[in-house]
A = this chain, B = another copy of it.
Amino acid sequence: MQSEIITIGDELLIGQVVDTNSAWMAQRLNEIGVELKQITSVHDDEAHIRQALDEAFSRADIVFTTGGLGPTKDDITKHVLASYFNTHLVESHTVKEHILQLYQNRPDVLNRLTATQWLVPEKALILENRVGSAPLMVFSQNGGKNQQQYLFAMPGVPYEMKIAMEEQILPFLSQHILSGAKKQITHRTIMVSGIPESSLAIVLEKWESDLPTNIRLAYLPKDGTIRLRLSGYGVEPEQVDYELHQMKDLVKEWLVAEQDLPLEVLLGEQLKAKKATIATAESCTGGKLAALLNKHPGSSAFYKGSVVAYSNEVKHNVLGVNADDLNRYGAVSEPVVLQMAEGVRRLLNTDYAIATSGIAGPDGGSPEKPVGTVWMAWATPTGTCAECFHLGSLREQITDRACMKALIRLLQSFR
């Protein structure tokens, strides 16, 4: 079953908004075996939307649209879809009741523009949008060759789209559309670190060229790791697992993790299993590592807190870093980062602590310590160690990579 996503909105095409919806939808669709053929972003423009719909339905039988369902004048998706599917707008009593209920304590929202939200295309099936006023619409048409085609229209606001997918559209798909035979897609991903992509490819070359044609390998480098993804199309999961096993054996010395989970989740699982706690002392990463560690629910089981010591004054006053060492070696140095890690571990009373201090740029570099130099330390119940990295030349890249390195090294020490 092939599908496509069309995201609609001028804001996407002038770069004011990053399309995070498509990747999230792609993951979910993939999980239920719906292959995503293409993602297309188009303007709030009728002719352009129609052309994108024609092209999408020429390749796929399920099309998802997001965006353009607001009550304001620039949003035209509902009107375009009504016309595309040869129907017209009628008032929906159910949608009206729902919207009145939704905004019962918000009389300021219940104005005449919001009232246009309960006008829906007569031929569309309307699913409930629990958290917003935009109607979730399902259209269907005969695509020729006795093939029924479907269009699902959703709001572009990410959390509304996610709730719509989880609660309405994915169940609808499973129940009404995917009940027949479907092609099984199996993905398996492992993460490695510490070897260049091209060298890895040489290590795997012989094995890779012997792979069955319906099992494919992809290399996905990201933030200091390379994810190796095996994808099996229409084969038994066991066959993919067999190849996975072969591959793991070939790359075991660089292995970071055997699941495709975010590094901070993997670390959290390890810490919970140890009933251990962690804290961070951050200079160059500036709180990013903290935010990663508490990003997911349940993180209070292992994460207690952090000190972002951006200025030297805070490193000294709060974390107890020796002022002489700060002067003599500079903030980006082994003694300072060791003291930061130990200082925060003591102050916050945790089992583990990570400290970072680096030159994120664009200024502040020197010949001895160019932009991208990051010292990192890990304090553990059995001692503290430090390491220096050179993580590139761009601010965001440096701090993101530093966070990843910090997690990778601690994860590797647990293996």
Indicate which residue in B29, B39, B231, B310 contacts A12 across the interface (CB closer than 8 Å): B39
Binary per-residue interface labels of chain A (54-75) against chain B in the complex, 1 for a CB within 8 Å, 0 otherwise: 0100000000000000111110
- A413 contacts the other chain (CB 8 A): no
Chain-B contact segment, one of A121-129, A213-221, A238-246: A213-221
Binary per-residue interface labels of chain A (257-286) against chain B in the complex, 1 for a CB within 8 Å, 0 otherwise: 000100000000000000000001010011
* Tally of this chain's copies: 2
A318 closest partner in B (C-beta) = B347
Chain-B contact segment, one of A198-206, A321-329, A376-384: A198-206
A348 closest partner in B (C-beta) = B314
A209 closest partner in B (C-beta) = B73
* Minimum Cβ distance to chain B for residue A19 (Å): 6
- A392 contacts the other chain (CB 8 A): yes
Indicate if the CB atoms of A220 and B71 lie closer than 8 Å: no
Collect the chain B residues with CB atoms within 8 Å of residue A293's CB: 286
A residues contacting B by CB (< 8 A) are 10-20, 22-30, 36-44, 48, 52, 55, 70-74, 106, 108-109, 111-114, 131, 157, 159, 162, 187, 189, 195-199, 201-202, 208, 216-222, 227, 229, 231, 260, 280, 282, 285-291, 293-300, 303-311, 313-314, 317-318, 347-349, 361-363, 392-397
4 more A-B contacts (CB under 8 A) besides A17-B23, A71-B201? A70-B221, A72-B201, A305-B307, A305-B318
